[in-house]
Amino acid sequence: MINSFEELFANLKSRGREKIVVAGGEDIETLKALKETYDYGFGEGILVGKKDEIEKSIAVIGEDKFVKEIIEAKDDAEKVRKAVEKVKEGGTLLKGKIKTATLLKGVLNKEWGLRTGKIISDVFVFEDRREKNPKMVLVSDGGVNLKPDAKVLVAVINNAVEVAHKLGIETPKVALLAAVETINLDMEETINAGIISKMNERGQIKGCIIDGPLALDNAISEFAAKKKGIVSQVAGKADILIVPNITAGNIFGKMITYYTNYSFGHIIVGTKVPVIAPSRADKSIVKLNCIALYVLCSR
């Protein structure tokens, strides 16, 4: 089981280089991350964007050995279209100097995008360092689905479980988060959690153990779960946290980003190839973590 991003980097070294196609290759932090994937031995870049600006950014890095190819594109829409076309030949798609909404619009294009018919979702992964032995914890969905109903939540869970399996978590424990740990008929997220937990209990959702509704403290703290008298295989030991809507997931992710020094990354899954869409504000180490997650999940 992979318990940290450093373990993930070491795991990927022997697998060869993955082509990383960057839509918006002018971004310096993205280029720094690409250089690191090259140095670690698992990546090389294909940059799509304004060639003169890309070359200026490469000059700031001080070397170009990590760049396999540069493809000229004049505006953001063209960057995405050309990057999507290129990634269909092999490799992965990484968001550079463009907006996430622009990237997703291209990815979901019915004519030339990367749609599969599956529901796509964002999976955020971070190192939980509260204990002596840290572990990877997954959170979904804070990036794509605004207010998922029970059907969409099942797809979100399945996507997250696939990533957990790639990380070596054989039977991930999934907590369906809410403000309370009891079903309240006035709180839709608690009703959805109860339905989905029963579906898992009866074998309709496989490859994981699900419980909910659970408040966050009960999901991640055995002490809190015990104090509240919650008897559960998941409570206090969750590997995957499923949030009720994009607002909760977005806030959770940004709290991890700015209030802790935990390592984290995230990818979009459910497409023909996983899509890497870090925030434009993310530093190169975060982009490196995102790329590493993709390479793991693509093989």
Percentage of the residues of the chain whose pLDDT score is greater than 90? 79
Average pLDDT, the chain: 93
Q: What is the mean pLDDT of residues 170-198?
A: 97
pTM: 0.91
Q: Give the tens place of pLDDT for each residue, 236-278.
A: 999 999 999 999 999 999 999 999 989 999 999 998 877 888 7
Q: Provide the pLDDT for residue 226.
A: 95
Q: Provide the pLDDT for residue 92.
A: 87
Instruction: Give the amino acid at 129.
Output: R
- Res. 170: pLDDT tops 90: yes
Question: d(Cα 297, Cα 11) in Å, to the nearest integer?
Answer: 12
Greater confidence (155 vs 110) lies with 155
Q: Give the tens place of pLDDT for each residue, 28-69.
A: 999 999 999 999 999 999 999 999 999 999 999 999 999 999
Give φ, ψ of 21 to 5 degrees.
Answer: -90, 115
Closest by CA to 153, choosing from 233, 217, 248, is: 248
Domains delineated in the chain: 5-116+271-297 (3.40.50.10950), 121-258 (3.40.718.10)
Instruction: Give the amino acid at 282.
Output: D
Q: Give the tens place of pLDDT for each residue, 274-296.
A: 788 877 777 889 989 998 998 89
